[in-house]
Structure 1
Amino acid sequence: MNLLRASVILLTSLATLYAALIICLTFETPQRWVIYFHWLHIPLFPKFHSPEHFGFAHNSIRNFKIQTNDNLSLGAWHILPKDYHTKEGLRYIGKVDDDVFDRALQDPDYETVIYFHGNALSRASSMRIDLYKNLMNRYPKLNIFTIDYRGFGDSNGIPSEDGLALDARAAWDWLMSKKVSPDRITLIGHSLGTGVSTTLAHDVSKAGTPPKALILKAAFASLPRLVLEYRLLEIIHILGPLNQIPIGNEWFKSHLKSKFDSLSRIPDVDCPILIVVGSKDFEIPATQSNLLFYGAIGGNPIQYNKQWLENGPSNIQVSQVENEATVYTTSKSTTKSSAAMVKLVCLEHANHNNLGYYDYFYESVHDITSWQTIDM
């Protein structure tokens, strides 16, 4: 009897604690901590001003700040194309002026990517640096421009959905101020950054100046659609139990302050789109990327069925790369072009954070962008 009573007390206590956690997460500040993880700083004191510390060549990166429309200061890196850096002999001279970097952006022989990272850490985290280096080495004529959102890295302010949209627009506007043509700018977003980059792609498309391409890694359709599937650190299924309580499910989603509703925005993105997901991603399930792909080609989310890809839609070409990837390719009508490519790539062995480790990721990027590649 004592054992039964102790078990009841324990279960009641756990249920009460869990309910308290859920209620706590309906408030803005706790939500911000969990969604953005901007408070997690690893490494603790990154040497943003000394890119050589991270293994980059001397004079290959400009470390600087850009300003947002609401007067915040964001830390940024501009990484030079490897081809340009080598031709100019920049490694073996003293610190160069900004003009040297600006010329690489303005030269029509070179293109630019804006990279929007995921939550937590900063632009100097090891997994992001590995991606920059892979992009540099694969595409020697590519400028890489990356920022830390407000509240991340050495950027001031507090993150929010509207705030990150302003940060992304500040990055775009900075490139516009350097006379970089939109059709030479590609947007890449990872995880949280897919919501940021899709918003920017939507906004500039509606303004009639779409980017060259939009590339989404480990994407989600919207936060309300993700929250009950999301696994923190790929393990902790925080909100899973709410799946069993429909009223609680809807109540919690109605209290989300950030939505990042890429699903409603992506149909208006007027450029080729690549969505890449890992089949071993347990943090953001592949179903989220599938749904976003469905929306990108004009599907009605209300009619979405999780088995639609397996059912073999007639307008989608499916190909297998043995033991590497499954690839779904189609096109959609846009306001500017009659057949913009939309591609979904599921990498067989990839997880949430290591998509840039896999060779086929870069081949898929080339298919969308036609960036000049180095002979491997």
Structure 2
Amino acid sequence: MAMTVQLPPRTIFLQIVRRFFLILCGTYFLLLALGAVPFVQKQLVYAHNFKFPFFCQYGLPERYDLAPFKTHNVRIHTSDNETLGAWFTLADPFYVSHKADLFTPTSSSEELIRSALRAHPTILFLHGMGATRAYRTRVQHYQTFASRLQANVLAPDYRGFGDSTGTPSEAGLTLDARAAWDWLRERGALPENILIVGNSLGTGVAVQFASSLESEGEDGDKWSGGGKAEWGGETRREQPRGVVLLAAFSNIETLLDTFYVLKIVPLLVPLRPFPYISGFLKRFLIHRFDSLAKVVELRVPLLIVHAEDDWDIPYSHSQTLFDAFLEQHLPPLPEMTATIMGASDEVAEHVAKLSQERAVLRRELVTASEIERVGRMEVFSKDRPDRKVVFIQTRWGGHDTVGLIEGVQDYIAEMFNMGYVA
């Protein structure tokens, strides 16, 4: 009769734990490998197939708490033959003064939109990943911008989002922003009356598009195909009123180091002790949205806002974008490689001295202040008199809703001469 060996409970427990961690590690690396597959990577970056709210009635914005006839469902055509669904929300003062025309139409909605664009500034709102233009927090932004900032709002769904055709890509989303801009311009909106506002993923789109306006302004010949406008033989650069970045990231590559899937599962955080592995995996990254490389090209006023309690994107990303404007005015630091970290006392002393010089110069370049009960603010405007760069770090506000803080809205109104301060 065969004898069965009874293992001690401690040994059985250790075997179970070991198997659990082997399965966990195997699943983790399998997910990382799947992330290198283009189709899967696209779903992770854009989440465009998560069309929330589901079964949306885009032709009935009132279903999503917007006032009757205040928001118009429009279609926008891109230069590469995609069609975008978008909502155009009228500024509150215009809506109130034209209610009779809206409820018992005496003129077409197209004519009313043109009139609204002439009468009030317009916000081109570029939303974040996933969901649609009918998502509750996005609707709250339209309502807030229309009332507190007294601005029209154009909110397109990128290609592949909502009821828009196509599939998203970095270049494609930039074309979508361009198409939305052209839609406004074709209806009479002046560039200086358009404020570009991006949230989360939309900040990457906003920076890419705004910088493309700058580069097109160097080479373009007409506003519909470039960044210049021709008016009676006079050529001038196409520049928006400004750019606002809400909960921005410096680039996708850096974001991966701190990103948590569903705010729970760390993506590359476990690989921090192994930078060569994470560096290898990043080689397969297709969608980069490198705002850090482009943001300093902007020549228009820029406001960057980020909350300390943002659990999706750390506020250090926005601080990095702000600091990029200072770098050309500061003595460069050597890269903190392993060689420098283990270098002689003389090299370490040199690096410490440079760091001290940079800190002193930074205090001279930046005007820092506290916004009572909101957060802190840094302002830089010494390199170009026509471009002010502002970073507001709020104490709260989360990720999707930092733009709904009234203190932030007040500063947008003040900085861009909108709403009650206009």
TM-score, normalising length: structure 1: 0.92
Which residue of 2 is the match for residue 223 of structure 1?
Answer: 252
Are residue 69 (structure 1) and residue 79 (structure 2) matched?
yes
Q: State how far apart, in whole Å, the 2-side matches of 1:129 and 1:15 are.
A: 41
Which residue of 2 is the match for residue 359 of structure 1?
Answer: 406
Which residue of 1 is the match for residue 24 of structure 2?
Answer: 14
* Contact 1:332/1:339 (<8 A) preserved: no
Between 24-33 and 96-105, report the one with greater CA deviation. Answer: 96-105
* Per-residue deviation, 1:60: 1.3
Cα distance change, pair 199–12 in 1 and its aligned pair in 2 (3 A): same
Which residue of 2 is the match for residue 92 of structure 1?
Answer: 103
CA shift digits 1:255-274 (9 cap, x unpaired)? 11001011111111110000
Q: How does 1:48-67 map to 2 (within 5 A)?
A: 48-67=58-77
Which residue of 2 is the match for residue 155 of structure 1?
Answer: 164
CA shift digits 1:82-137 (9 cap, x unpaired)? 111222234532485111112211x2x41111000000101110000011111111
* Contact 1:231/1:284 (<8 A) preserved: no
Cα distance change, pair 201–250 in 1 and its aligned pair in 2 (3 A): same
Give the secondary structure class of the aligned counterpart of 1:373: helix
Cα distance change, pair 318–374 in 1 and its aligned pair in 2 (3 A): closer
Which residue of 1 is the match for residue 374 of structure 2?
Answer: 324
Between 278-287 and 358-367, report the one with greater CA deviation. Answer: 358-367
Cα distance change, pair 309–249 in 1 and its aligned pair in 2 (3 A): farther
Q: Which amino acid aligns with 1:190?
A: N
Are residue 345 (structure 1) and residue 372 (structure 2) matched?
no
Are residue 274 (structure 1) and residue 303 (structure 2) matched?
yes
Q: How does 1:1-376 map to 2 (within 5 A)?
A: 1-89=11-99, 90-94=101-105, 97=108, 98-105=110-117, 107=118, 109-140=119-150, 142-206=151-215, 207=217, 208-299=237-328, 303=333, 313-334=363-384, 338-373=385-420
CA shift digits 1:208-229 (9 cap, x unpaired)? 3121100000000011111111
Between 247-256 and 231-240, report the one with greater CA deviation. Answer: 231-240
* Contact 2:365/2:382 (<8 A) preserved: no
* Contact 1:150/1:164 (<8 A) preserved: yes
Percentage identity across paired residues of the two chains? 28
Give the secondary structure class of the aligned counterpart of 2:388: strand
Q: State how far apart, in whole Å, the 2-side matches of 1:236 and 1:177 are.
A: 45
User: Could you say which structure has the larger radius of gyration?
Assistant: 2
Structure 2 unmatched runs, 5+: 1-10, 218-236, 337-354
Give the secondary structure class of the aligned counterpart of 1:293: helix
Q: Which amino acid aligns with 2:289?
A: F
Structure 1 unmatched runs, 5+: none
Cα distance change, pair 70–94 in 1 and its aligned pair in 2 (3 A): same
Q: State how far apart, in whole Å, the 2-side matches of 1:333 and 1:352 are.
A: 30
Between 86-95 and 312-321, report the one with greater CA deviation. Answer: 86-95
Q: Which amino acid aligns with 1:193?
A: G
Cα distance change, pair 323–57 in 1 and its aligned pair in 2 (3 A): closer
Q: State how far apart, in whole Å, the 1-side matches of 2:376 and 2:71 are.
A: 36
Q: State how far apart, in whole Å, the 2-side matches of 1:113 and 1:8 are.
A: 55
Give the secondary structure class of the aligned counterpart of 1:314: helix
Cα distance change, pair 260–309 in 1 and its aligned pair in 2 (3 A): farther
* Per-residue deviation, 1:357: 3.0
Cα distance change, pair 185–125 in 1 and its aligned pair in 2 (3 A): same
Give the secondary structure class of the aligned counterpart of 1:351: coil
Q: State how far apart, in whole Å, the 2-side matches of 1:179 and 1:295 are.
A: 35
Q: State how far apart, in whole Å, the 2-side matches of 1:278 and 1:152 are.
A: 26
CA RMSD across the alignment: 2.4
* Contact 1:274/1:343 (<8 A) preserved: yes
* Contact 2:301/2:387 (<8 A) preserved: yes
Give the secondary structure class of the aligned counterpart of 2:74: strand
Q: State how far apart, in whole Å, the 2-side matches of 1:310 and 1:327 are.
A: 18
Q: State how far apart, in whole Å, the 2-side matches of 1:50 and 1:86 are.
A: 19
Give the secondary structure class of the aligned counterpart of 2:171: helix
TM-score, normalising length: structure 2: 0.82
